């Protein structure tokens, strides 16, 4: 018997790799002779590097970069596919969790460190980069990233702009001659699960700015600055980015990645699940187990467990899903290919117990799910 274990992170308690290990222990308790294949997955946000490195038996690397406000940060990235593909997360270099709430100011925060992280991955010899851009503290349209990669963002007096989104209101010229031409040979794919444009009522500043510390006045200031940024990008690098779906992701970093690195913005879950190698692991599988902390309608449409279920169902493999609890619309998972859902709370465990002993509780839920599956057989 072959069982593929492919969970997402159980947010706040277990990483995807830890969850896979806990589930695998439960599988082996019920099916001691089974071949258990662990394939941790993610959606493109936090945990993308760990999921892809662990699923592909890759290598972790670290780079010292500037945090969102210039503090020194040790950012982790990964190498997979024998070092041909780099995996990075914007949040590890320019993330909201890297600065205290009292210091959050999207007018000043910068993606400069994210650019340094990208450069570290390129210098490691990769030919492709997969980037997760969730969890940013920034609203600079990826301008800091571009500066770190050698682009110059200049005002009308040919002076370099300071870091941060607010400064973009003074942008006059973009000079990309200092960027290493080797970037033209690097394929960049960005896991992006939002479709927000760069500016306007649904843009980066209006929708995500308040989460990062922007008040009403700051939202207006940042939106106007990004509009100016888009105008200059259209004239100088020669790219129209303002209306691209996903351009507003990560404070507009989606737009910057397209403009300066010719990146492709693609849905996160399919990108990461594919890169984790799930399709190949499904060969000869008798059962797939996936899961995450809380399942709802979004799990079926856009989250990694829903993508796992869809691919397993297409391969004719039954899918068990384990979760901490259920939210509205969880029934949609059955349409996505899930055979059965088992929650921790349904097994007589209260929420606090699940939080205090997440690995043990998840292993126990896996045992229950596998026993049900064996009865069905």
Residues 112, 148: contact at Cβ < 8 Å? yes
Rg of the chain in Å (alpha carbons) = 22
Give the tens place of pLDDT for each residue, 41-90. Answer: 998 888 899 999 999 999 999 999 999 999 999 999 999 999 999 999 99
The domain spans of the chain are 2-41+281-376, 48-268
Give the tens place of pLDDT for each residue, 313-358. Answer: 999 999 999 998 899 999 999 999 999 999 987 655 555 666 678 8
Strand 187-191 relative to strand 264-266: parallel, antiparallel, unpaired?
parallel
The domain made up of 48-268 has a fold known as: Glycerate kinase, domain 2 (3.90.1510)
- Residue 60 is predicted with a pLDDT of 98
CATH class of 2-41+281-376: alpha beta
CA distance 323 to 244: 35
- Considering only residues 264 and 324, tell me which one the structure prediction assigns the higher pLDDT: 264
- Residue 375 is predicted with a pLDDT of 57
Which of 37-51, 105-119, 177-191 bottoms out in mean pLDDT, i.e. has the lowest? 37-51
**What's the rounded mean pLDDT across residues 154-181?**
97
CA 325 to chain centre: 22
Please check the confidence at residue 265 and state whether its pLDDT lies above 70: yes
Torsion of CA 337, 342, 344, 350, to 10 degrees: 120
Residue 372's pLDDT band (boundaries 50, 70, 90)? Answer: confident
């Amino acid at each position: 018997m072959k069982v593929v274990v492919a969970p997402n992170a159980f947010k706040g308690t277990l990483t995807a790799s830890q969850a896979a290990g806990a589930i695998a222990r439960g599988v082996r308790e019920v099916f001691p002779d089974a071949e258990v294949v662990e394939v941790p997955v993610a959606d493109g946000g936090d945990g993308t590097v760990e999921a892809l490195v662990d699923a592909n038996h890759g290598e972790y690397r670290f780079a010292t970069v500037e945090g969102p406000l210039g503090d020194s940060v040790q950012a982790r990235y990964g190498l997979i596919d024998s070092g041909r593909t780099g995996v990075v997360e914007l949040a590890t270099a320019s993330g909201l969790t890297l600065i205290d709430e009292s210091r959050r100011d999207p007018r000043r925060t910068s993606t400069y460190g994210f650019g340094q992280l990208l450069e570290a991955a390129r210098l490691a010899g990769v030919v492709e980069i997969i980037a997760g851009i969730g969890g940013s503290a920034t609203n600079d349209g990826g301008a800091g990233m571009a500066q770190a990669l050698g682009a110059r963002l200049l005002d009308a007096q040919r002076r370099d702009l300071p870091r941060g989104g607010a400064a973009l209101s003074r942008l006059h010229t973009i000079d990309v001659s200092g960027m290493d031409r080797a970037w033209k040979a690097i394929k960049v794919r960005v896991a992006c699960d939002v479709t927000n444009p760069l500016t306007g009522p649904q843009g980066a500043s209006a929708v995500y700015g308040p989460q990062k510390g922007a008040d009403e006045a700051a939202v207006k200031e940042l939106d106007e600055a990004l509009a100016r940024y888009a105008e200059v990008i259209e004239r100088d690098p020669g790219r129209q980015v303002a209306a691209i779906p996903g351009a507003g992701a990560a404070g507009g970093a989606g737009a910057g990645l397209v403009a300066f690195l010719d990146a492709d913005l693609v849905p996160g879950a399919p990108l990461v699940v594919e890169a984790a190698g799930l399709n190949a692991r499904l060969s000869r599988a008798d059962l797939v187990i996936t899961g995450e902390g809380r399942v709802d309608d979004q799990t079926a449409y856009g989250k990694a467990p829903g993508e796992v279920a869809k691919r397993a169902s297409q391969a004719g493999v039954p899918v068990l899903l384990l979760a901490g609890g259920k939210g509205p619309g969880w029934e949609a998972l059955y349409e996505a290919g899930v055979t059965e859902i088992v929650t921790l709370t349904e097994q007589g465990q209260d929420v606090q117990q699940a939080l205090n002993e997440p690995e043990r509780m998840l292993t126990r839920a896996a045992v229950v799910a596998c026993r049900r599956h064996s009865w069905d057989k």
